[in-house]
Amino acid sequence: MWPLVIYSVVCIFTQSQCTLNVLEERNDLLEKELAMMVGSEIKLSDSELKANEIIMKLKHDEIEHGFIHPNHFNLSKHFFEYKDEVKKTKLFQIIQSMPKGAVLHAHDTGLLSPDYMLALTYWKDLWFCWTEDKSNIEFHFSKTIPVNPCATEWKLMEKARNASGDVEKFDADLRKHFTIVIDNPHEVYTDVNAVWQKFQQCFITTGNLFNYKPVYEQYYYDTLLEFRKDQVMYLEIRSILPQLYDLDGNFFDAVETAVTYKRVTEKFMKDYPDFFGAKLIYAPLKLVDKATLQEYIRIALQVKTLLPEFLVGFDLVGQEDLGVPLREFIHELAEVREKLDLYLHAGETNWYGTSSDENLFDAIALGAKRIGHAFALIKHPLLMEEVKKRQIGLEMNVVSNSVLKLVEDPRNHPLATFLSQNMPVLLSSDDPGIWEALPMSHDFYVTFVAVASRHADLKLLKQLALNSLYYSSYHEKHKLVHAFQIRWTKFIDAIVKDKW
């Protein structure tokens, strides 16, 4: 007892010193933790420091208002409720103008808005067919009535629209098939399977609309245009490489579709020389047998032989909990990795110890260059260490994980921990068009305000953009980084001069 009494007496006489020691230790611990964060190694210039003051004032205002009035904090609500509202804020507009580096996780036909999709239905020679209960719709371009089976009857879109008596309502009903955005998501999307069913139906519905070769080419060109407009410099697009068709009865296989991607990319780069182009990751569906997988691999190697610089990797996609586990394909994937880099979806699940969760083990063992989502990685401390040691890029898709029911509140997203431990993370957007987000601005904004620490500042934003370049498959990364630094300097100058 005597030592405790003596200590208490000392503290009575030196209370201010005791308090000071505790505060010093507290601040020291905080500084050490912040020094572990993504972006902590970046040193800001004088101009960046001035810009940082402006940005952090805006960020702190939003967070502190939400802290005092949690019912008014937009980002704790469903994305559908705040996606348009946040666009009005000055902080969002600044982030929207920020150079964002590369997008390395984006799926072919899920990238542009439902309004864009609706505009495609004004193209000539488009026919459509309802299912019997009118819950779903199928499209096909043809000079005459399509020969494809139809549950009801094929109608020419132009005639049906004009005969509807209410074009505005006709288009509004049609638009619903191109988006998962609804007014009551919590009531309708009650679990992950429910929202994935609607999500996947969007791709099924638009299949033959997109697979018309002229539409496919225009859509991809306009995708590059929208990503460039959102300050993206470079894209690695995942595609299932669907068979395309034209009005003359010609069909174009997966290899020819890959060639189409390359040709449109080259045309876009000629039209917009400040864009650094795009590469292709062949990413067919994972809910298949081994014979189908072997056919996928044959196609991948054929495309790689024909387009060695354009096709950079291979992946398998689909709802992970319902897909075939990677361990079932270990032999086939282990063989192909010697010829083709793997960029694998893994851990896009809330489960722990299940096959979808343990896909993370397989992806790392297979030598994946990057892992898509890696949402469940937070539960595996050993794998987190392996990811850091092997420098495997983690493609994080915050808005996607929110709308597809992995996390209700982005403040609870595992990315918060990854950021705090300087994990090799990069931001991407998955399928932003289907939930009506901008190509990258929403994901950066939500990450900066809701996921990252209140203390995370301009250094984090800069590092995340740079990480997307470092973990890309672009061969001359120094050119990308140099161009990014020039754009970043202009961005900082605009903030300091308050051009918003």
How many whole angstroms separate alpha carbon 396 and alpha carbon 414?
10
Number of H helices, E strands in the chain: 22, 13
Chain centroid to CA 256 = 26
Task: Spot the catalytic one: 62, 348, 358, 395.
Answer: 348
Using alpha carbons, select from 107, 322, 365, 89 the residue that is nearest to residue 219.
107
H, E, C per residue of the chain: CHHHHHHHHHHHHCHHHHHHHHHHHHHHHHHHHHCCCCCCCCCCCHHHHHHHHHHHHHHHHHHHHHHHCHHHCHHHCCHHHHCCHHHHCHHHHHHHHCCCCEEEEEECCCCCCHHHHHHHCCCCCEEEEECCCCCCEEEEECCCCCCCCCCCCCEEHHHHHHHCCCHHHHHHHHHHHHCCCCCCHHHHCCCHHHHHHHHHHHHHHCHHHHCEHHHHHHHHHHHHHHHHHCCCCEEEEEECCCCEECCCCCEECHHHHHHHHHHHHHHHHHHCCCCCCEEEEECCECCCCHHHHHHHHHHHHHHHHHCCCCEEEECCECCHHHCCCHHHHHHHHHHHCCCCEEEEEECCCCCCCCHHHHHHHHHHHCCCCEEEECHHHHHCHHHHHHHHHHCCEEEECHHHHHHCCCCCCHHHCCHHHHHHCCCCEEECCECHHHHCCCCCHHHHHHHHHHHCCCCCCHHHHHHHHHHHHHCCCCCCHHHHHHHHHHHHHHHHHHHHCCCC
Question: Is 373 among the catalytic positions?
Answer: yes
Among 405, 413, 397, CA closest to 450: 413
Catalytic residue among 140, 373, 380, 442: 373
Residues tagged active-site:
348, 373
